[in-house]
Amino acid sequence: MISDEVRTQSNIISEYRYTTGKIDKGYNNRTLYVNVGTGEIREKPVTQMMKDKLIGGKGFGLWYLWNAVTPETRWDDPENEIVISTGPLGGITQYPGAGKSLVVTISPLTGMPMDSNVGGHFGPLLKFAGFDSIELQGKSEEDVIIFIDGNEGIVKIEKSPLKVSDSHLIGEQMAHVFSENEEDKKNVSVVSTGSAAEHAFMGLLNFTFYDARRKKIRMKQAGRGGTGTVFRNKRIKALVVRFRGVNRGLNNPVNQDILNETGVKMHREIHENDAKQNRMREVGTAGLIEIMNAYDLLPTHNFKYGSHRDASKISSEIFKKMVTQNMPDGCWYGCSLSCAKAVDNFELKTGPYKGEKVLVDGPEYENAAGLGANLGIFDPQYVIEGNFYCDTYGIDTISFATTTAFIMECFENGIINREVTGGLDLKFGNREAALELLHQMGRGEGFGKIAGLGVRRLKQIFIEKYGADPGFLNDIGMEQKGLEYSQYLPKESLAQQGGYGLTNKGPQHDEAWLIFMDMVNNQLPTFEDKAEALHYFPMFRTWFGLNGLCKLPWNDIVPADNKKEADPTKVPGHVRNYVSIFYAVTGIQVDNDEIIRQSERVYNLQRIFNVRMGCGRRVNDRVPYRSQGPVTVEEYESRAERYDGQLLELAGFDPEGKTTAEKMAVLRKYREDQYEKLIDAVYERRGWTNNGIPTIKKLKELGMDLPELLAVVEKLQ
Amino acid sequence: MIQVNGRNFTWEDGLTVQRLIELKRYIYPHKIVRINDRIIQEEEYGSTLISSGDDVKVIHLMAGG
């Protein structure tokens, strides 16, 4: 622990004083700019255009990033920024799930703008400290911390006194340094990453919050796309905000009564229905494990299969016994859905903290599915251990899991061996090897350091250095646009293949999750149906990220009478809630159509940003065949009845008497052709050209025909 | 033969909603069941018979992620 003398040491590099203000209808109308290279700190006004067209959150982040970089900017250039923003509804305490921040940066994995959403208290406290966003630019020559005192109106860049490099310790020590006592820790939130982000491209950012009942610092993660890697490359050790005085009225909404009434209705609904629906308060998202397994959707062995006989060993019933029950586990005040589960007093078995008893946030579904099933390791203790170390080292669990699964398949196919891995026996199911790979990543040494570069770069290395077959690696390497797939098996759902492939940032399920609507419910039988879903749901989900909201209270709990709605999958009752609370805070009356248009403006901005960075075209939306169908003979033959039936019924090909290789080739051609037709339909629905470029007509319809956007797309129409 | 979510499924004598859910391994608890557009309440799954030719929808309200 840092000694108290450190608190009084003067290590100030730069200081800026500002006048604290009052939020007006959800906006401070100013943001904060910090350059850690030059020491410049200043305020920027939020323009009316930003509020009208970009709303907040991801919209603000993308806009600032757009104006900070050029098409030539790489992730580690000083001009790259990390922008953290809430949104106009961020920080309200009346409605569940209103503590989210959106982190935007040029990603080391994709070379394009990345957006990653995260809970924890930083975003709301930043907002109450006076800023709708913070931009971090430049590169420091020494480790620094940035401190925002939201009550005194001071922003400082200081030399870092920290001797530790992992997030669970940085979070604790910074909370200690910047609070006056235990009670005061609730007013402090710390953003940091861990030791692995020094080397790995999949570094994440941890956002802390103080758990008053446990009296512990906890962390939520902005996991995707290497935001932590950029943070450490700028040599920022910690970003700290302190604000004392959180209360229910700080957003100064135009109609407090509507906000209160809508919130009370929602809390009652959660109280009455959660135990009968998704049990978020009991097990969090880990409850999906056994369900995905039962429907053949749980990725196992690098997405080869969708179920495994040992999946019950990592089911929610197992984790339910490990996570502490009856705790109000919300990651922001007022979230009664309380899905932020935690394991208390977990004794670590490996690594630098071996023997210590720690608090582990999670496990969430992605942790258990990725670290567990996808690596063929059905051991809950190992899942918790891996979860802890990924977080504190600053490693995205999803990218780590998908990368390690890829490595394991390469290892089992003889593409790499122990000589390459430095002795690690990286076969599926080997938990010791998987954990050692993770620790190597933390130390920045051995094969772990190479693995931290992610699937796309590993494919190049394996091809160039070890003579691997490019076709096979591109088929089994589960990345697209440079980002590793999250943990759902999309093979049997064309709509979900698009839900992953036709995203802006890469294959993350937060845009569209259509597996059940498509594969099980068969609600999207035509290309037009799928295209409509791949328009509506990504746009609707984008809206959460503009406003500082969490997606889970939208559809991981639904009203009891939702089944009577004409389209229950959209949870119309909750859409009405969002219309109400948006008005209640901002005074702006919207309807469902306007929500979609608000999102479309930002979605198209992001697409054009991708185009500007050299991506964002049809070729970038194609997906590895492992996500579309069986790559290997054993994959096909494990579900031969299903595939044979599809050949006969859908592809018009009689499989009788044919070899597996012949059948696989026909199935592949059929499925790849289907995906191309899907792309055509989705681009048309979204108002894009056949090459995936937003049309000028569409931009005009949306009021997004801004000169800087038109300059990018005009020559590509 | 019946239709289940728009796909053919072999009908059997005495087929109830509960039995259909078991046969299809629809373990996800939060579903909407409709037979010929009539909503079937969960407490009626065991007693509601499905007739040959019925159009059955078992909509999983699973939106994930």
Respond yes or no on whether the N-terminal peptide bond of residue A299 is cis (omega within 30° of 0). Answer: no
Q: Which uninterrupted H or E stretch holds A346?
A: strand A342-347
Which of B6, B32, B64 shows the shortest C-beta gap to A509?
B64
**Model confidence at A8: pLDDT above 60:** no
Q: How many CB atoms lie within 10 A of CB A472?
A: 19
Task: Give the gap in angstroms from C-alpha A562 to the nearest C-alpha of chain B.
Answer: 9
Q: How many CB atoms lie within 10 A of CB A357?
A: 10
Residues of B in contact with A282 (CB under 8 A): none
Which of B5, B27, B62 shows the shortest C-beta gap to A522?
B5
Query: What number is the average pLDDT over the span A189-205?
Result: 98
* Whether A568 and B61 lie within 8 Å, measured CB to CB: yes
A660's tokens? 């597996």
Give dist(CA A688, CA A691) in Å, integer: 8
- pLDDT tens digit sequence for A111-154: 999 999 999 999 999 999 999 999 999 999 999 999 999 999 99
**Model confidence at A66: pLDDT above 80:** yes
Range A346-350, long-range pairs (CB < 8 A, 24+ positions): A346/A322, A346/A384, A346/A385, A346/A388, A348/A385, A348/A388, A349/A381, A349/A385, A350/A385, A350/A389, A350/A435, A350/A436, A350/A439
Give dist(CA A693, CA A703) in Å, integer: 16
| Alpha-helix runs per DSSP H in A27-152 | 48-49, 58-68, 122-129
**DSSP string covering A529-551:** HHHHHHHHHHHHHHHHHHHT--S
**Model confidence at A167: pLDDT above 90:** yes
Proportion of chain A above pLDDT 90, given as a percent: 91
- Nearest chain A residue to B58 by CA: give it: A521
Highest CATH level, class, for B2-60 = alpha beta
- Could you say which DSSP state residue A348 is in? P
Give dist(CA A211, CA A374) in Å, integer: 32
Query: What number is the average pLDDT over the span A233-247?
Result: 97
* Whether A569 and B63 lie within 8 Å, measured CB to CB: yes
**Model confidence at A254: pLDDT above 90:** yes
Q: How many CB atoms lie within 10 A of CB A12?
A: 12
Residue A252 φ then ψ, to 5°: 45, 60
**Alpha-carbon radius of gyration of chain A:** 24
For residue A280, what pLDDT is reported? 85
* Whether A555 and B63 lie within 8 Å, measured CB to CB: yes
Task: Report the amino acid identity of residue A221.
Answer: Q
Q: Which sequence spans correspond to the domains of chain A?
A: 5-242, 264-270+278-484
Task: Give the gap in angstroms from C-alpha A195 to the nearest C-alpha of chain B.
Answer: 28
**Model confidence at A305: pLDDT above 70:** yes
For residue A276, what pLDDT is reported? 86
**DSSP string covering A643-700:** HHHHHHHTS----TT--HHHHHHHHHHHHHHHHHHHHHHHHHHHTB-TTSPBPHHHHH
Instruction: Give A310 or A8, the one with higher predicted confidence.
Output: A310
Give dist(CA A361, CA A367) in Å, integer: 11
- pLDDT tens digit sequence for A627-676: 999 999 999 999 999 999 999 999 999 999 999 999 999 999 999 999 99
A522 touches chain B (CB under 8 A): yes
Task: Give the gap in angstroms from C-alpha A563 to the nearest C-alpha of chain B.
Answer: 6
**Model confidence at A3: pLDDT above 70:** no
**Model confidence at A10: pLDDT above 90:** no
**What is the CATH number assigned to the segment(s) A5-242?**
3.60.9.10
A558 touches chain B (CB under 8 A): yes
Residue A238 φ then ψ, to 5°: -160, 145
* Whether B61 and A551 lie within 8 Å, measured CB to CB: no
Cα dihedral across residues B11, B15, B19, B20: positive or negative: positive
Task: Report the amino acid identity of residue A100.
Answer: K
Q: What is the mean pLDDT of chain A?
A: 95
B10's tokens? 């072999």
Residue A533 φ then ψ, to 5°: -65, -35
Instruction: Give B61 or A117, the one with higher predicted confidence.
Output: A117
Reported as a pLDDT band with limits 50, 70 and 90, residue A446 is very high
Task: Give the gap in angstroms from C-alpha B28 to the nearest C-alpha of chain A.
Answer: 6
Cα A72 from chain centre: 25
- pLDDT tens digit sequence for A260-270: 999 999 999 99
Q: Cα(first)–Cα(last) distance of chain B, in Å?
A: 35
Which of A288, A509, A558 shows the shortest C-beta gap to B61?
A558
A324's tokens? 């502490």
Give dist(CA A306, CA A624) in Å, integer: 17
Residues of B in contact with A523 (CB under 8 A): 5, 59
**Model confidence at A413: pLDDT above 80:** yes
Which of A291, A520, A563 shows the shortest C-beta gap to B32?
A563
Contact at 8 Å (CB) between A408 and A429?
A: no
**Pairing verdict, β A236-242 and A144-149:** parallel
A5-242 and A264-270+278-484: same fold?
no
Give dist(CA A523, CA A530) in Å, integer: 9
A136's tokens? 């971090």
| Alpha-helix runs per DSSP H in A156-244 | 167-177, 227-233
Cα dihedral across residues A339, A345, A351, A353: positive or negative: positive
- pLDDT tens digit sequence for A522-557: 999 999 999 999 999 999 999 999 999 999 999 889
- Could you say which DSSP state residue A506 is in? S
Give dist(CA A491, CA A668) in Å, integer: 11
Beta-carbon pairs below 8 A across chains A and B: 64
Contact at 8 Å (CB) between A168 and A21?
A: no
A433's tokens? 């090897």
Architecture of domain A264-270+278-484: Orthogonal Bundle (1.10)
* Whether B63 and A288 lie within 8 Å, measured CB to CB: no
Which of A291, A554, A569 shows the shortest C-beta gap to B28?
A291
Q: How many CB atoms lie within 10 A of CB A358?
A: 18
What is the 3-class SS of A64-85, one letter each residue? HHHHHCCCCCCCCCCCCCEEEE
Give dist(CA A497, CA A501) in Å, integer: 6
Which residues, 6+ apart, have CB-to-CB distance to A137 below 8 Å? A33, A34, A35, A36, A37, A68, A78, A79, A80, A81
Task: Give the gap in angstroms from C-alpha B14 to the nearest C-alpha of chain A.
Answer: 24
Per-residue exposure over B27-63, b if at least 16 CB sit within 10 Å of its own CB, e if not = ebebbbbebeeeebeeeebeebebeeebebbbbbbbb
Q: How far is CA A564 from CA A315, A561, B42, B62, in A?
A: 32, 6, 14, 16
* Whether B7 and A568 lie within 8 Å, measured CB to CB: no
What is the 3-class SS of A367-395, one letter each residue? HHHHHHHHHCCCCHHHHHHHHHHHHHHCE
B52's tokens? 């040959």
- pLDDT tens digit sequence for A548-581: 999 999 988 999 999 889 888 899 999 999 999 9
Residues of B in contact with A551 (CB under 8 A): 65
**Model confidence at A1: pLDDT above 80:** no
